[in-house]
């Protein structure tokens, strides 16, 4: 009875706290201070490890302050994800996310078509809801290269821009200082799976294992977790989309990107600026790779130019608000 009452109470808080952040971590007595960059991700949610699907702005979990983790947060308890069977017979064939570049600030029609599928399962590839000119900045982090993530974080901090970093388990283990900075400086650390397999080639049980392994490492070692997920290599199935949704995850794709993942391709910051600026549009979800020297060198100017065109940088927690 107590557990049912707790769930009802949490649901009441989630529905009434419109735009006010996230419910507190069990045991907290005060709401933490508001972040200048991402006002909606500084307080915490825990629901006694129940897999209760949450709204976009209740997808961040944080422990109490005063822990001995790199973030200074108390570890969160481990969780368990259980994969349901594909009882609806959803397609299992491999799909790959792709997009045509925007032109004249207008989203490409291929992105519009992908959006229709993703939204059926609580995901998105761009923001077609907000009436304002908004941009979402995201990075994929599989490994560290020349300490470029530190340079990127310095720029973001100086410009007061929130971002999401989709990391693998190897990255969490090898770069705890950068991960702690991401969290403590108001960014989101998203789940990019434990071992970066194609989610179009593994079972639903293995998908759940990949998600669980990654999240539990974050929970135990950083006192943090989020339910934002990016499919490795953008490969997925409709069945995989449904499973992610059933486990309370938001699948985040992208609508603006270029071939920036190859560390051997250093073409200068002007190249990066031109590629990004020519492809942005209202509601863009920008994908950049943190291993690109060009991206690190160009980021400050890219941010300034995007703002000069009247865009507002938002955190993923603000999608749809």
pLDDT tens column, 226-284: 999 999 999 999 999 999 999 999 999 999 999 999 999 999 999 999 999 999 999 99
Q: Would you state the pLDDT for residue 18?
A: 31
User: How far apart (Å, rounded) are the C-alpha atoms in residues 274 and 175?
Assistant: 30
Q: Distance from CA of residue 295 to its chain's centroid?
A: 19
Selection from 215, 119, 199 nearest residue 167 by Cα: 215
Parallel, antiparallel, or unpaired: how do β-strands 95-96 and 235-236 relate? antiparallel
Burial class of residue 237, CB neighbours in 10 A (0-12, 13-18, 19+): buried
Residue 124, SS3 per DSSP: strand
* C-alpha–C-alpha distance, residues 167 and 191, integer Å: 6
Q: State residue 110 phi and psi, 5-degree precision.
A: -65, -35
Cα atoms found within 13 Å of the Cα of residue 22, Cβ hemisphere only:
31
Query: Hey, which residues are catalytic here?
Result: 140, 289
Q: Is the pLDDT of residue 50 over 90?
A: no
Average pLDDT over residues 24-39: 34
User: For residue range 113-154, what is the model confidence (pLDDT) as tens digits?
Assistant: 999 999 999 999 999 999 899 999 999 999 999 999 999 999
pLDDT value of position 11: 39
- In the chain, DSSP assigns E strands to 60-62, 95-96, 134-141, 164-167, 188-191, 224-226, 228-229, 235-236, 250-251, 284-289, 312-314
Give residue 35's pLDDT. Answer: 39
How far is it, in rounded angstroms, from Cα 179 to Cα 258?
24
Give the whole-number percent of the chain exceeding pLDDT 90: 78
- pLDDT-based confidence at 105, cuts 50/70/90? confident
Tell me the pLDDT of the chain averaged across its residues. 85
Q: What confidence category does residue 24 fall into, taking pLDDT thresholds of 50, 70 and 90?
A: very low
Cα separation, 116 vs 63, in Å, equals: 36
Query: 61-85, pLDDT tens digit by residue?
Result: 999 999 999 999 999 999 999 999 9
What per-residue confidence (pLDDT) applies to 39?
36
Domains (ranges, CATH) in the chain?
95-318 (3.20.20.370)
Half-sphere exposure of 153 (CA within 13 A, CB side): 19
Q: Which of 41-50, 185-194, 234-243, 290-299 has the lowest average pLDDT?
A: 41-50
The 8-class DSSP code of residue 215 comes to H
Tell me the pLDDT band of 58, cut-offs 50, 70 and 90: low
DSSP 138-168: EEEESS--TTHHHHHHHHHHHHT---EEEE-
Distances 243 to 208, 209, 251 between C-alpha atoms, Å: 8, 12, 10
């Amino acid at each position: 009875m107590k557990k049912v009452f707790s769930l009802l109470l949490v649901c009441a808080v989630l529905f009434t706290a419109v735009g006010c952040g996230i419910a507190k971590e069990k045991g907290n007595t005060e709401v933490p201070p508001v972040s200048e960059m991402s006002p909606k991700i500084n307080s915490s949610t825990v629901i006694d490890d129940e897999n209760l699907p949450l709204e976009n702005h209740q997808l961040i979990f944080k422990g109490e302050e005063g822990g001995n983790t790199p973030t200074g947060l108390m570890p969160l308890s481990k969780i368990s994800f259980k994969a349901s069977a594909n009882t609806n017979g959803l397609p299992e064939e491999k799909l790959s996310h792709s997009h045509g570049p925007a032109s004249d600030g207008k989203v490409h029609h291929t992105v519009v078509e992908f959006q229709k599928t993703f939204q059926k399962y609580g995901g998105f590839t761009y923001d077609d809801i907000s009436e304002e000119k908004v941009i979402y900045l995201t990075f994929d982090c599989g490994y560290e290269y020349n300490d470029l993530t530190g340079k990127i974080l310095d720029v973001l901090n100086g410009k007061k821009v929130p971002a999401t970093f989709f990391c693998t388990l190897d990255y969490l283990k090898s770069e705890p200082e950068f991960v702690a900075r991401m969290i403590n400086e108001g960014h989101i650390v998203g789940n990019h799976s434990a071992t970066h397999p194609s989610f179009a080639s593994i079972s639903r049980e293995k998908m759940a294992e990949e998600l669980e392994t990654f999240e539990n490492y974050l929970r135990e070692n950083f006192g943090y977790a989020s339910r934002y997920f990016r499919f490795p290599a953008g490969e997925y199935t409709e069945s995989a989309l449904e499973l992610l949704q059933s486990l309370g995850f938001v699948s985040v794709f992208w609508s603006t990107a270029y071939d920036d993942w190859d560390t051997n391709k250093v073409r200068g910051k002007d190249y990066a600026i031109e590629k990004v600026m020519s492809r942005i549009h209202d509601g863009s979800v920008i994908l950049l790779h943190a291993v690109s020297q060009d991206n690190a060198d160009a980021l400050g100017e890219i941010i300034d130019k995007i703002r000069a065109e009247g865009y507002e940088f938002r955190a993923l927690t603000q999608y749809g608000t």
